[in-house]
Chain A
């Protein structure tokens, strides 16, 4: 899952990003509205955590433009304004969800996850394939009765492949959806991770390599 955090308070942005990364998400940060729009133009995000009060381009404007361009990212608005009027306005502009500051971090994580599930097609809370069950919220994966010890990236790749539901996923797509902008696209990171994941999944093999295409469960 890839998330963009758009927040002009530098330390707060990095704290949120750190917390979300520990929950297994790939997180990019934008410090102003212009930066946020640039990020969204280049990468695909499942969720954009958007502070309303951004310099350069106001958060409301960023949200409006996302909707106009029919961007599929879900938007969770953050703001210190807390009257009902402000919340209604925020949702009216096109946000999918709204959190007022100060918020509980757990709640932010839960709402971000819930929004990510709502991308088309809607996903169930737990993903399964054959005897493999994966719970994104609890970060657990079980095959048969055996719990799997997966690294955060391996878990995220498995989650992505399961969500694709039989569709072929290219290595580029995995890189885009599971790693953040800090990742080097020219290394073998994806291939190595898939290899390690296969090893941990065991027999019978679940991940199929499609020639010239990518991977598929």
Chain B
């Protein structure tokens, strides 16, 4: 609509300009001096029944010529205006059709975009035709839809997995209780054993809930920014996990150089704990764990490496997805729930840090977290 009016308006403007030029040119007229004997011109009246009556003569011919000239001129102007308006109308109509045709892809895009909702995000516009602005618009929107679909899909999978993982401890607890109650030969000992199992299950359940909440809150972003000293946090974590390292007879190499960043201390501590925990659990007995903090190019860098099972190159991405476990043959009650690395990534992203995971040639994994460069404090 706007396009048509715009186009018709332009046309009218140009037409008027054209007319004005013609008008100016014509009104100046082409004057030539012609010496002709002034004819005597007599005006005559046409009678209704035919015939003509001569009227008394008037002024010289030039008056008549100029009058005729004026009359002709007026008629030219009038006709021109009429023609201009008609052609403008014609231009408007043609313009309407032309605009409609050219803008058809845009209407298609609008119509398709309206029908695409969460239910059918797999649909695409898939415009055909030459690679012009419309096709580029269509392709860009298709990319956007692709990203939306992937995101929705990831969300849906997360909810499905989380609900499964959360229901499993409930199922175990209920089954244990009901089987114990249905046992006609239940002794105090067997009941006590059941109670202890229940407590263990609840501890595990609580750990899962906490992990999910951490994941959710770190995806929301950081609530506070305080100075974070990486070597200190690593040290604290290692003191806690020391017994676990010893149990698996893992050789630990720790190199803690100065490295600090800003962020949420609790979350970064969680990140470190998850990385080291992961390095221990996916290791082989008698293997090794390497932990390193340092500052490179003004950025704090944390590296955790471990020996262990061989990881195929395409698998590293999958490890960071929630509820994915490296070893799919492991039974589901190993206390991990497959959330460790996805929490690491979420916390890193919240801190604007890079996460890189590289499988090692002999088996195992090295994970490197590079925190963003810190703005230098203004010199006093």
Contact = CB atoms under 8 A, between A and B. Distances in A.
19 contacts: A9-B168, A9-B172, A9-B332, A11-B172, A11-B197, A12-B168, A12-B171, A12-B175, A19-B175, A19-B182, A22-B182, A32-B331, A55-B330, A81-B160, A101-B168, A102-B170, A102-B171, A104-B174, A105-B175
B338 to A, nearest CB: 11
A19 to B, nearest CB: 4
Interface in A52-80: 53, 55-56, 79-80
A80 B168 contact: yes
A119 B173 CA distance: 32
A18 interface: yes
B163 A80 contact: yes
A104 B167 contact: no
Interface residues of B, number: 25
B165 to A, nearest CB: 8
A10 B333 contact: yes
A150 to B, nearest CB: 15
B329 interface: yes
A192 to B, nearest CB: 23
A196 B71 CA distance: 136
B328 A18 contact: no
A96 interface: no
B30 interface: no
Interface of B: 160, 163-164, 167-168, 170-176, 178-179, 182-183, 197, 201, 325, 328-333
A106 B179 contact: no
A216 B174 CA distance: 41
B323 to A, nearest CB: 10
B172 A55 contact: no
B318 to A, nearest CB: 14
Contacts of B330: 55
A37 to B, nearest CB: 14
Contacts of B182: 19, 22, 105-106
B334 to A, nearest CB: 9
Contacts of B332: 8-10, 55
Interface string A76-113: 00011110000000000000000001111110000000
Nearest to B161: A53
Contact of B164 (A18, A31, A55, A81): A81
Nearest to B197: A11
B172 A15 contact: yes
A16 interface: yes
Nearest to B162: A80
B179 A10 contact: no
Contact of B333 (A11, A32, A56, A104): A11
Interface size range on A against B = 20 to 34
Contacts of A105: 174-175, 178-179, 182
Nearest to B167: A80
A101 B328 contact: no
Contacts of A103: 171, 174
Interface in A6-40: 8-12, 15-16, 18-19, 22, 31-32
Given A10-B333, A55-B330, A103-B174, 14 more contacts: A8-B331, A9-B331, A11-B201, A12-B171, A15-B176, A15-B179, A19-B182, A53-B164, A55-B328, A80-B167, A81-B160, A105-B174, A105-B178, A106-B182
Q: Closest 7 interchain pairs by CB?
A: A105-B178, A19-B179, A80-B167, A80-B164, A101-B171, A102-B171, A55-B328
Contact of A12 (B160, B172, B178, B325): B172
B178 A19 contact: yes
A105 B173 CA distance: 11
Contacts of B172: 9, 11-12, 15
A106 B182 CA distance: 9
Contacts of A18: 179
Contacts of A106: 178, 182
B178 A31 contact: no
